[in-house]
Structure 1
Amino acid sequence: MTAINPIYADPPNPALPPTDVALAPGRAALLVIDPQIDFLSPKGVGWGAFGQSIVEHDTVANLGRLFEAAKAADMPVMISPHYYYPYDHRWDFAAGGETLMHKLRMFDRPDPLSLKGFDGSGADWVPEYKPYIQDGRTVVCSPHKIAGPQTNDVVFQLRKKRVDQVILAGMAANFCVESHLRDLVEKGFEVAVVRDATAGSKVPEGDGYLAALVNFRWFANGLWYTRDAVDRIATLARGKVAA
């Protein structure tokens, strides 16, 4: 694990009571948000805002470790991607984060029914994740449009697998990951966020990762490092409750 920046370390005397998720066989899934080039690669248009945090937390490698562990454990893996089609750029209003994504042309695709130009584009998967995502078993949900799963089928897909415990990771901490977390806990899921398998923006408006980390502590049922998540997934694979 990379060294922890002191500003992200847990407080020595927290006010919030400790909570955790004890993973149970048949109930848990890994949900990865936006494992796409535009967020996670220096080739992506979002790297200027997110790259420093991604490098600091070793996010790309940590997401790879989660994919590997989940596949080895035969755990359901789901992806909540972000795509924009030409008609999405004709919305009549947007917030700051949306406006920036539209300006950068993040996750652009020409048509929902066409993969023309998709391979290697910003909307495509980070190359090292493709063996895990394109293995015929991973569920790629319909795209969310701003940040949360209210506009896609993530919850439906989780319910259809009888999943009620979610290991949550991906991009971006203060935007899509936090929005998925909030919606999932409101719908009765237990959610553990993997804190170093995500990252946030670092812009003049502030450190998005730090903002998200504060809210993770309030809303998540568990807040893990990748090494902890991998160990728990391996324990679960042996048919044992992983706490």
Structure 2
Amino acid sequence: MAQTAPPLPATYADPAKPALPPSSFQWDNARTALVIIDPQIDFMSPKGKGWSIVGESVTEQRLVPHLQQLMAGFKRAGLPVAISPHYYYPHDHRWLHEAPAETVQHKLGMFDREGALTLEGFRDSGADFIPELKAAIEDGKTIVAAPHKLYGPQSNDVMLQLRKQRIDKIVLAGMASNLCVESHLREFLERGFEVVVVRDAVAGPKLPDGDGYLSALVNFRYIANAVMTTDQVVAKLDGR
């Protein structure tokens, strides 16, 4: 059953009457992969350390059900799915300078693991994948990239993995909208990929300092090759 996408904010243009010119983007299943950023307990579960910051947005966007829907669609179509996860090891906590979001993550202990060479304490920790996606992620076919350390993919191998699959079109989803999602989007574009952002399959922080989801949504419209809903992406995958 199709889900109704959340309404766009008042400051976001009516898609039927865009002010910006149309994109040249053309859908092509053979060249497309799904990239999900940080589908981890600390970001997407009420049990996670970041829930007080992002939980409202995760709930509003129905993020987890939409990610399930996307993964099922890509798996059904036989197309690549890649995960760009966020892990912190003990040596990462010895950094000598941090920006605000890094400080919050380190202070809360988000995405913490015992080390790069051990899975001790990993299962069901905040760094582990959410239960709703775990079976699909661990099916032996999903690409699980090395961890990114701040926001973008510059410090992991997700782009190499996608290039090795001859992928140059990316459907982007996950967390957090104005941080890792936007940073991945910008870097992918700079490296020659075309990127679709799934606007109801991303979420962000909500603090007195501002709504990260809404701030990112405006930028997505300006710089992504396309902004779609989950239902629109699944329809494309199914040839509709």
- Whether TM-score is above 0.5 comes out as yes
Check if 1:161 corresponds to 2:161.
Answer: no
Q: TM-score, structure 2 length as denominator?
A: 0.95
Alpha-carbon distance change, 45 to 178 in structure 1, aligned in 2, over 3 angstroms: same
Classify the secondary structure of the residue corresponding to 1:194: strand
Structure 1 consecutive aligned stretches of length 4 or more whose deviation exceeds 6 Å = none
Classify the secondary structure of the residue corresponding to 1:69: helix
Given that residues 5 and 229 in structure 2 are in contact (C-alpha distance below 8 angstroms), is that contact kept between their aligned partners in structure 1? no
Structure 1 residue runs of 5 or longer lacking an equivalent are 236-241
Given that residues 37 and 122 in structure 1 are in contact (C-alpha distance below 8 angstroms), is that contact kept between their aligned partners in structure 2? yes
Given that residues 147 and 156 in structure 2 are in contact (C-alpha distance below 8 angstroms), is that contact kept between their aligned partners in structure 1? yes
Given that residues 176 and 203 in structure 2 are in contact (C-alpha distance below 8 angstroms), is that contact kept between their aligned partners in structure 1? yes
Give 1:14 shift. 3.5
* Structure 1 vs Structure 2 CA RMSD: 1.4
Give 1:21 shift. 3.2
Alpha-carbon distance change, 20 to 224 in structure 1, aligned in 2, over 3 angstroms: farther
Alpha-carbon distance change, 134 to 172 in structure 1, aligned in 2, over 3 angstroms: same
Given that residues 199 and 227 in structure 2 are in contact (C-alpha distance below 8 angstroms), is that contact kept between their aligned partners in structure 1? yes
2:13 to 7, 11, 14: 11
Classify the secondary structure of the residue corresponding to 2:117: coil
Partner of 2:204: 200
Number of residues of Structure 1 aligned to a counterpart in Structure 2: 236
Check if 1:111 corresponds to 2:105.
Answer: no
Check if 1:135 corresponds to 2:139.
Answer: yes
Check if 1:151 corresponds to 2:155.
Answer: yes
Alpha-carbon distance change, 103 to 8 in structure 1, aligned in 2, over 3 angstroms: farther
Classify the secondary structure of the residue corresponding to 1:195: strand
Check if 1:34 corresponds to 2:38.
Answer: yes
Q: Write the distance in 1 (CA, Å) between the matches of 2:12 and 2:232.
A: 16
Post-superposition CA distance 1:64-118 (Å, at most 9, x none): 1001101011000100000000000000001001111001110000011111111
Partner of 2:183: 179
Post-superposition CA distance 1:109-142 (Å, at most 9, x none): 0011111111110000000101110000001000
Classify the secondary structure of the residue corresponding to 2:203: coil
Given that residues 31 and 166 in structure 1 are in contact (C-alpha distance below 8 angstroms), is that contact kept between their aligned partners in structure 2? yes
**One-letter amino acid matched to 2:68:** G
Structure 2 residue runs of 5 or longer lacking an equivalent are none
Give 1:2 shift. 4.3
**One-letter amino acid matched to 1:173:** S
Check if 1:21 corresponds to 2:25.
Answer: yes
Given that residues 12 and 218 in structure 2 are in contact (C-alpha distance below 8 angstroms), is that contact kept between their aligned partners in structure 1? no
Give 1:210 shift. 0.6
Check if 1:53 corresponds to 2:57.
Answer: yes
Given that residues 8 and 210 in structure 1 are in contact (C-alpha distance below 8 angstroms), is that contact kept between their aligned partners in structure 2? no
Classify the secondary structure of the residue corresponding to 1:61: helix
**One-letter amino acid matched to 2:43:** F
Q: Write the distance in 1 (CA, Å) between the matches of 2:172 and 2:160.
A: 16
